[in-house]
């Protein structure tokens, strides 16, 4: 080893070089076991790590241990001082034997860790977040997911401030020490990658429960929170038990340790983390009661608890070989949590919600400068790839394979996958191969879904040949160019398709079409009457369908299609028939077909309320924009609010009736949640058509509400109205909940999302509110990300919305680069907007780009957005 590379004083160069998938190689050294010994203290924590390493194959390369801001105090091999040196942030240890115990000691400072990666302090706790590359902020380690080790962790800490000491696996020893300190030792028998390491120290109390697994093992379950929050953990605990049962029933997967711990923390970069046996959650995905949480919050909690629990198999027992395979665990686990929620709530409504998220977030990502395949080819900062594409489009890929194989073969394939790769770091390719083998199908062309970015577009035309008694479905597909990818091959699109009688709406035939060419024609025989096309039912393929169906046909589908998702979809298309011309500044067709369809939906007693709510909901401004070649945000806003006004004015009676149905506030049944969802949509339309009546009803709702869902509905309606009730209600809400930070987040979010001309000014002021802070990711997102998602306000013609976001990104980047980088994408859409907005958005990006000392996280997002 050259001595220059061994110089411990070598400066750390800013490293913005990409990492490529094609460069993957096995690690030079395995780490079989990790022994951690930690003297925990918020100011300075001493970490001694002993790694049992083994040479992998024949080579004479040094042991490279990644670090991030660490300085080695000692480096030893088998108890003796090692020859070692720094290269950038990494520690290189010269190795003269094939296996050794390599020990390092470092000091870290949790209370100065504002990035919330590694070991950090949050509300009196010490906790960790290691995925993807946070472990290297705690100790020197290869810190790559294909290095799997068993762990033993000894923690010492002040017994009064940190009475509870948790880590992965099982508690094997604990006891008192001198000077008011105590210790605990935890061992995790399952080999795991370093990103799944976790510890928590603090004054916590547990909601304790038990679960008996299918083979009769008893598992102790704990949800650890501040004592005052214990009553708000019930829903999460129920969700955990439901998830454990569901994974046994649907996937045959049983929990494998005797203990499962969950901890809720207030400062957390993401939703939650699946650390082995010790899941750590953003408290917003644990804490809930009817007074402070909405129906959507309750559902999100169940979904995230399930997601993290399911990772125990899809992620932990079988992990990822490298970070390019992230969707192997995330796409699959999102699919699993979506199906769990579909089973626990309403199958159709949950599917509609998931498709809405896909369209509102993933489709724009896939058509913009940050578009990337589900399995990316390169990254500068991996954290930027925890995206809707990897997660949500990744889940759609799994869902398509489920559709193609059918449930039994799919289950056989996942059984094979879990059995074959248990204890391994696997690839997306490994997963697909199991699907092929157990499913008996050829997925060669299907693999393009992993490598080709961009949302495929399908043109569908149904032509009836009366003489031959057939209907011909003509299909064409194109896959758009994306950064670095042009001239793409046709993909395999599983299209669940049906023909309905145009007269009666009766279903004539349903088929699963595997459309895998640029063009194709599918023939339906024995078609003896006029028919309507119902295509991509349940959103069986994540594509954009362009069909030439008339308003009448869509209205029939909206009223009659046996597939509830298809009814919703027909309503959306019908609304877009009216919204898109208006948003383009073209002549606007009369709204009558939409009004009639909404009336018919409201009056349909066979439809459940949650579906009704979805069906009468207008496409968001973001979704309208997504369908336009060039977006004029003012015109989009006008188009949508005009249609809402017309519906509200025409259907006053029906809407008043629909919003008046009562349900008990603590009733979380599908029916009760549907009643409240319908109230939100109906009141929203009514307030658009009759603002005074809307304000009166909303204020009355606020005053009588016995649950957060209705309270939030009332505030949302009032936030868009010029009524004195508005300020009264917002002030009352603030006074009532100022001590509850999760609810205060809603107070900020509602104002940031308000549909009113002065939202920009209000948000500019709220940035200086004493309760606003850049340090807490939830608070930052509640105000800034909600504002940036508010199309009309954010795209204010002055460009001040963009400038505000740029300022926040620059300030947040100094504190927490990961969170800052995630706020950049709204500006990255600049090419899609009318020229004056595009110019201003680009200027805001340039302001960020030229600011001093940018993190590589923000650098990557901004440079790609401008490039
Ligand atoms: N694996 C976690 C989950 O999906 C998310 C971790 C996010 N980490 C990150 N660096 N973005 O539940
Ligand atoms: Zn996950």
CATH classification for the domain delimited by 738-867, as one of 1.25.50.10, 3.40.50.1970, 3.40.50.300, 1.10.287.90: 1.25.50.10
How far is Cα of residue 336 from the mean position of the Cα atoms in its chain? 14
Q: Establish whether residue 283 lines the binding site of ligand 1, counting it when its CB lies within 6 angstroms of any ligand atom.
A: no
Which residues have CB less than 5 Å away from ligand 2 (the ion)?
A: 330, 333
Q: Ligand 1, atom 1: nearest CA belongs to which residue?
A: 273
Q: Establish whether residue 132 lines the binding site of ligand 1, counting it when its CB lies within 6 angstroms of any ligand atom.
A: yes
For residues 19 and 836, give the distance between their C-alpha atoms in angstroms, rounded to a whole number. 36
Superfamily for the 19-310 domain = tricorn interacting facor f3 domain (2.60.40.1730)
- Provide the CATH topology of domain 320-447: Neutral Protease; domain 2 (1.10.390)
Mutate to test the pocket of ligand 1, among 143, 270, 316, 332 (most ligand atoms within 8 A of CB): 270
Bond preceding residue 420 cis, omega within 30 of 0: no
Q: Establish whether residue 247 lines the binding site of ligand 1, counting it when its CB lies within 6 angstroms of any ligand atom.
A: no
| Catalytic-role residue among 308, 330, 614, 690 | 308
Work out the angle between the directed axes of helices 564-583 and 633-650 (0-180°, nearest 10): 120
Q: Establish whether residue 513 lines the binding site of ligand 1, counting it when its CB lies within 6 angstroms of any ligand atom.
A: no
- Provide the CATH topology of domain 550-689: Zincin-like fold (1.25.50)
Work out the angle between the directed axes of helices 652-659 and 592-603 (0-180°, nearest 10): 40
Q: Ligand 1, atom 5: nearest CA belongs to which residue?
A: 273
- What is residue 548's three-state secondary structure? coil
Grouped pLDDT means (10 residues each) for the chain, 867 residues: 39 71 98 98 98 98 98 98 98 98 98 98 98 98 98 98 98 97 98 99 98 98 98 98 99 98 98 99 98 98 99 99 99 99 98 97 97 98 98 99 98 99 99 98 98 98 97 98 98 98 96 98 97 98 97 98 98 98 96 98 96 98 96 98 98 98 96 98 98 96 97 98 92 97 98 97 98 98 98 98 98 98 98 98 98 97 97
Q: Is 308 a catalytic residue?
A: yes
Q: Which pLDDT score is estimated for 723?
A: 84
Distance 115 CA to ligand 1 centre (A): 14
- Classify residue 60 by burial, with Cβ atoms within 10 Å: 0-12, 13-18, 19+: exposed
Kind plus residue range of the DSSP H or E element containing 172:
strand 170-176
**Which residues are registered as beta bridge partners of 494?**
514
Cβ neighbours of residue 94 closer than 8 Å, sequence gap 6 or more:
1, 62, 82, 83, 84
Ligand 1, closest atom to CA 272? 12
Domain boundaries, the chain: 19-310, 320-447, 550-689, 738-867
Q: Establish whether residue 337 lines the binding site of ligand 1, counting it when its CB lies within 6 angstroms of any ligand atom.
A: no
Ligand 1, closest atom to CA 129? 8
Report ipTM (2 d.p.).
0.98
Same fold, 550-689 and 738-867: yes
Distance 476 CA to ligand 1 centre (A): 37
Q: What are the phi and psi torsion angles at 827 (to 5°)?
A: -75, -30
How far is Cα of residue 45 from the mean position of the Cα atoms in its chain? 32
Q: Ligand 1, atom 8: nearest CA belongs to which residue?
A: 131
Token pair in block for residue 222 = 């704990």
Ligand 1, closest atom to CA 304? 12
Task: For residue 615, give Cα distances in angstroms to 353, 363, 566, 621, 663.
Answer: 12, 21, 10, 16, 20
Q: Establish whether residue 857 lines the binding site of ligand 1, counting it when its CB lies within 6 angstroms of any ligand atom.
A: no
Distance 425 CA to ligand 1 centre (A): 17
């Amino acid at each position: 080893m050259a001595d220059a590379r061994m110089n411990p004083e070598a400066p750390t160069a800013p490293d913005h070089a990409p990492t490529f998938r094609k460069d993957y190689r096995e690690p030079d050294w395995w780490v079989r076991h990790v022994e951690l010994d930690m003297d925990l203290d918020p100011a300075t924590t001493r970490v001694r790590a002993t790694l049992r390493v083994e040479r992998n194959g024949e080579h004479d390369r040094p042991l490279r241990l990644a670090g991030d801001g660490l300085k080695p105090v000692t480096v030893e091999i088998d108890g003796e001082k090692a020859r070692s040196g720094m290269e950038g942030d990494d520690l290189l240890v010269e190795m003269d034997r094939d296996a050794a115990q390599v020990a390092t000691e470092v000091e870290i400072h949790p209370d100065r860790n504002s990035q919330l990666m590694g070991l950090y302090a949050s509300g009196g706790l010490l906790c960790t977040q290691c995925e993807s590359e946070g472990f290297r902020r705690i100790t020197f380690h290869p810190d790559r997911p294909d290095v799997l080790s068993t762990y033993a962790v000894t923690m010492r800490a002040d017994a009064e401030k940190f009475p509870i000491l948790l880590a992965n696996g099982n508690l094997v020893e604990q006891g008192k020490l001198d000077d008011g300190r105590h210790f605990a030792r935890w061992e995790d028998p399952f080999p795991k990658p370093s990103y799944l390491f976790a510890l928590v120290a603090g004054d916590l109390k547990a909601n304790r429960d038990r679960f008996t697994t299918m083979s009769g093992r008893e598992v102790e379950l704990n949800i650890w929170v501040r004592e005052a929050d214990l009553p708000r953990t019930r829903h999460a605990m129920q969700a955990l038990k439901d998830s454990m049962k569901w994974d046994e029933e649907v996937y045959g997967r049983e929990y494998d340790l005797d203990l499962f711990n969950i901890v809720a923390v207030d400062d957390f970069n993401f939703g939650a983390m699946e650390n082995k046996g010790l899941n750590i959650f953003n408290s917003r995905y644990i804490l809930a009661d009817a007074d402070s949480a909405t129906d959507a919050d309750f559902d999100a909690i169940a979904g995230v608890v399930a997601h993290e629990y399911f990772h125990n198999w899809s992620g932990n027992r079988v992990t990822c070989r490298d970070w390019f395979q992230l969707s192997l665990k995330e796409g699959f686990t999102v699919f699993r949590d979506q199906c769990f929620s579909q089973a626990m709530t309403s199958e159709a409504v949950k599917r509609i919600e998931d498709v809405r998220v896909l369209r509102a977030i993933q489709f724009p990502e896939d058509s913009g400068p940050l578009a990337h395949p589900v399995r990316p080819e390169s990254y500068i900062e991996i954290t930027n790839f925890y995206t809707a594409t990897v997660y949500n489009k990744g889940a759609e890929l799994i869902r398509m394979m489920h559709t193609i194989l059918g449930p039994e073969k799919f289950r056989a394939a996942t059984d094979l996958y879990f059995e074959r790769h248990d204890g391994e770091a696997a690839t997306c390719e490994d997963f697909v191969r199991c699907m092929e083998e157990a499913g008996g199908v050829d997925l060669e062309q299907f693999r393009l879904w992993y490598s080709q970015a961009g949302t495929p577009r399908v043109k569908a035309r149904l032509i009836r040949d009366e003489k031959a008694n057939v209907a011909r479905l003509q299909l064409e597909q194109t896959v758009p160019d994306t950064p670095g990818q042009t001239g793409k091959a046709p993909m395999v699109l599983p299209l669940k398709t049906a023909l309905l009688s145009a007269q009666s709406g009766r279903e004539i035939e349903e088929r699963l079409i595997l459309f895998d060419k640029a063009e194709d024609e599918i023939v339906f025989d024995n078609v003896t009457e006029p028919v309507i096309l119902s295509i991509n039912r349940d959103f069986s393929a994540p594509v954009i369908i362009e069909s030439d169906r008339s308003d009448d046909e869509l209205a029939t589908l909206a009223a009659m299609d046996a597939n509830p998702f298809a009814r919703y979809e027909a309503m959306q298309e019908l609304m877009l028939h009216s919204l898109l011309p208006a948003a383009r500044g073209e002549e606007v067709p009369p709204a009558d077909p939409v009004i009639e369809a909404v009336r018919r939906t409201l009056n349909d007693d066979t439809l459940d309320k949650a579906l009704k709510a979805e069906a009468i909901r207008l496409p968001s401004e973001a979704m309208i924009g997504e369908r336009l070649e060039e977006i004029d945000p003012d015109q989009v806003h006008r188009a949508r609010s005009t249609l809402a006004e017309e519906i509200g004015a025409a259907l006053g009676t029906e809407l008043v009736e629909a919003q008046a149905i009562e349900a008990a506030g603590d009733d979380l049944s599908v029916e009760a949640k549907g009643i409240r969802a319908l109230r939100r949509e109906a009141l929203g339309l009514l307030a658009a058509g009759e603002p005074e009546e809307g304000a009166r009803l909303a204020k009355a709702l606020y005053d009588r509400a016995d649950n957060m869902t209705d309270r939030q509905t009332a505030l949302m309606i009032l936030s868009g109205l010029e009524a004195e009730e508005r300020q009264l209600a917002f002030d009352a809400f603030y006074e009532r909940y100022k001590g509850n930070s999760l609810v205060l987040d809603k107070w900020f979010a509602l104002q940031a999302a308000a549909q009113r001309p002065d939202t920009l000014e209000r948000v500019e002021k709220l940035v200086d509110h004493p309760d606003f802070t850049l340090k807490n990711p939830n608070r930052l997102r509640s105000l800034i990300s909600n504002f940036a998602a508010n199309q009309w306000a954010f795209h204010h013609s002055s460009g001040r919305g963009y400038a505000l976001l740029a300022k926040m990104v620059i300030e947040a980047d100094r504190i927490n680069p990961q969170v800052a980088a995630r706020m950049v994408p709204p500006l990255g859409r600049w090419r899609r907007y009318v020229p004056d907005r595009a110019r201003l958005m680009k200027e805001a990006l340039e302001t960020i780009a030229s600011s001093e000392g940018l993190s590589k996280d923000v650098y990557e997002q901004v440079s790609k957005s401008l490039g």
